[in-house]
Chain A
Amino acid sequence: DIQMTQSPSYLSASVGDRVTITCRASQSVRTYVSWFQQIPGRAPKLLIYAASSLRSGVPSRFIGDGSETEFTLSISSLQPEDFATYYCQQSYSTPYTFGQGTKVDIK
């Protein structure tokens, strides 16, 4: 199985900050990576697919990058509604594994 390892597991930031979350795959997944945002008590929401494609309707401050084994999700200017947990996921091969999550909290 392909392991997806996110870092950090937790980060504390202020409104307006730029933050970056990293996701490393245990083997190449080309660009078959998605990023999801989850607010407590709600279902996950797709932000980015194919490593860098922004889903329609998602604010442009969310930026995905990377290929093969290293991927990043950046938020260019953190907004109050962005405080949530973020997950990466590979869809290169089954099982479609997720990272363990990164919780973004208010400093």
Chain B
Amino acid sequence: QQQVKQSPQSLIVQKGGISIINCAYENTAFDYFPWYQQFPGKGPALLIAIRPDVSEKKEGRFTISFNKSAKQFSLHIMDSQPGDSATYFCAASEVGRGSTLGRLYFGRGTQLTVWP
């Protein structure tokens, strides 16, 4: 059973546009929601993360919007640039409860292409 569902699978955006990637989860115990960015030939790297006690987290052009009641969260990339072209993974975990509960569950990824 897929713990985190991510869409779309691929996304093409014009330079300067807004890229939006959506994720949904079922486990209401999840309390840590990171996004990872992966460039070709590299491993995923943490981009930005949010806790469920806030509805939005912004770092530069990257914003996570979180809707706890809908069990959804999304990544917005403002003023998208060709250098943002990468694969993006959302993830979720239940932190701080010991055992395996800190394990990260990943979405299936979104391949973003930003055209110049």
Do they bind each other?
A: no
